[in-house]
Amino acid sequence: MDAAERKPSSTGRRTRGSRAGLNLARIIEAARSLDADALTMQAVADKLGVDRKAVNHHVSDRESLLRLVALDAFSRNSSAVDIPADASWQEACGIYAVAFTDSVIAADALAEHLMPDGSLYVRFIEPAEAIAKKLTEAGLDDETIVRSLALLTNICWAYARDALFVSRGGERIRPRLTRAAVEERDPQMFEHLGRIVERGFDTYDRRQLEMSVDVFLRGMEALLARAQAASAQEDV
């Protein structure tokens, strides 16, 4: 090993990730302290006082870095999700929905970099198993259960995207688009939509999530009642 490898450069930076004493945890910690808009490979390297190549040794590019930090924010918020053993399946679904939604929202400006793959859903595998167990015990078949979990997760994703968009100064676009569509036509033909949109209901607030989950639960109860009725008929 020559002197250049044994010692930091004259700028105070080392050239390789393994020799800079770096690991992925340190990189994510440094990135976490930066604003999303300013989060670049170079900015993280500057924060750590190392050469950019040292960061590249662990993270290939900026998009990968953004995704790692977003997943870190998601994971830190989801680590405490717990579904009590005595919870009803309705309560379990409600706990899952709130926790998943809040975990996405916790990623804030980085939420757009979260990908619906294994690295994300593994964080919720235990509550998902708890829900699957309770729905199985309630009498639902496997296909209905997996489709229900997918639907509930999609509800959470959709609401979280809306909430984040508005929280970052985005326009509540649905009322404006509805109003514009009505005004371009004969208002008398759309009196109900016109009346409703003028009342100014906020479909981006927390009540929207609560209603969405409630509708989901009522639908699940209907499916369960149908499954129980079919089972009872088979037993006759």
| DSSP of the chain | --HHHHS--TTS--SSTTTTT--HHHHHHHHHTS-GGG--HHHHHHHHTS-HHHHHTT--SHHHHHHHHHHHHHHHHHTT----TT--HHHHHHHHHHHHHHHHHHTGGGGGG--SSHHHHGGGHHHHHHHHHHHHHHT--HHHHHHHHHHHHHHHHHHHHHHHHHHTT---HHHHHHHHHHHTS-GGGGHHHHHHHHTT--TTSHHHHHHHHHHHHHHHHHHHHHHHHHHHHHH-
Domain boundary assignment for the chain: 3-60, 81-170+205-235
Average pLDDT, the chain: 83
Which of 70-79, 92-101, 113-122, 216-225 bottoms out in mean pLDDT, i.e. has the lowest? 113-122
pLDDT at 97: 95
Q: Of the ranges 54-68, 101-115, 120-134, which one carries the lowest mean pLDDT score?
A: 101-115
pLDDT at 140: 93
Residue 121 or 84, more confident: 84
**pLDDT exceeds 70 at position 126:** yes
pLDDT score of 79? 63
Greater confidence, 34 or 92?
92
Task: Identify the weakest region by mean pLDDT among 31-35, 109-113, 115-119, 163-167.
Answer: 115-119
- The residue among 125 and 137 whose pLDDT is bigger is 137
**pLDDT reported for residue 184:** 85
Higher pLDDT residue, 164 or 234? 164
Q: How confident is the model at residue 171 (pLDDT cuts 50, 70, 90)?
A: confident
pLDDT at 95: 94
Q: Which is higher by pLDDT, 171 or 8?
A: 171
Residue 87 has pLDDT above 60, yes or no: yes
Q: Which CATH class is domain 81-170+205-235?
A: mainly alpha
Q: What is the mean pLDDT of residues 209-225?
A: 96
